[in-house]
Amino acid sequence: MNKTNAVLRIGDFEPTFAHELALRYETPSLPDGRERSRFLAEHASEIRVVVTSGHPGVDAETIAALPSLEAIVNNGAGVDAIDLDAAKRRGIGVSNTPDVLSDTVADTALGLILMTLRRFAAADRYVRAGRWTRDAPFPYARDVSGLQVGILGLGRIGSAIATRLLGFDCAIAYHNRHRIEGCPYRYAPSPVELARSVDVLVVATTGDRGTRKLVDRTVLEALGPDGYLINIARGSVVDQEALVELLVGGALAGAGLDVFADEPHVPAELLGLDNVVLFPHIGSATARTRRAMALLAIHNLDNYLANRELLTPVLRPRR
């Protein structure tokens, strides 16, 4: 095991990552409260690399408190909990764990689509409650095959979702900041126009300041009372207040949500809706995928300490 004060852990780590990192490195963790100030006063100048994983992330204040910081290694594809602007100004490198979770998250999106439109979760509850024997037949649901599906964010995960939906003979459209040359799918010039033209809108974009409430009330209203929203990106991308209001009022057909604006808190209004499927942010939560993510994050750490290079950089460190 490598014992080093050059690496600082920040946040509560996912169990697999915590285990794999502990097998290889003995590093300090950033304390809370008064102990934090004391720790930084004694050790801030030693820290070259921060290792983090989701909440609470690494904000501008923390970056400013670490004068020798060179790199931030994140266990996860999303880096919305890291202040990238502050890191870029300092020339601090940031890495993430792309690719290794794309298939698993795409599987989750497909599961949400099937469960929401076909009402599988509601049907399961119907049987468990004994309603099959005493009530009317379970209501009809919506076919997935042949639908128009819009993907907001056709990156690695969005592309993997699209590939799966082709097996259901779905027509795919997408919106990115820029049209993808050679892409076989229809491009929509705005999120509103994408939502207006599809039956299902799948949110697969990054979660950062540039995408905050990208799916706003206007986009949701364009999706309409026959449209479904699926979100496996970040809760911050969707105007959650507007989403709840429209779902409760019947202005949307349904939603499948793996992410929320204030996790782990879920709006109480959604809990009783049978046309909404709620997951506890499990998009990448399989043993194989979480270990692959952990090992890629650790390989980034290993390589940076040895060569001052990140294997999967979001921001490259200034040399």
Residue 265 is among the residues annotated as catalytic for this protein: no
Catalytic residue (one of 26, 42, 241, 263)? 263
Catalytic residue (one of 175, 196, 234, 290)? 234
Q: What is the rounded CA–CA span in Å between residue 206 and residue 76?
A: 12
What are the CA-CA distances from residue 57 to residues 50, 200, 286 (Å)? 10, 32, 22
Please state, as a whole number, how many other Cβ atoms lie within 10 Å of the Cβ of residue 136.
7
Q: What is the rounded CA–CA span in Å between residue 291 and residue 285?
A: 10
φ/ψ (deg, to 5) at 231? -125, 115
DSSP letter at 253 equals S
Residue 221 is among the residues annotated as catalytic for this protein: no
Whether 141 contacts 199, CB under 8 Å: no
Catalytic residue (one of 186, 281, 291, 299)? 281
Strand 93-95 with 313-315, pairing = antiparallel
The amino acid occupying position 119 is R
Residue 263 is among the residues annotated as catalytic for this protein: yes
Q: What residues are labeled active site?
A: 234, 263, 281
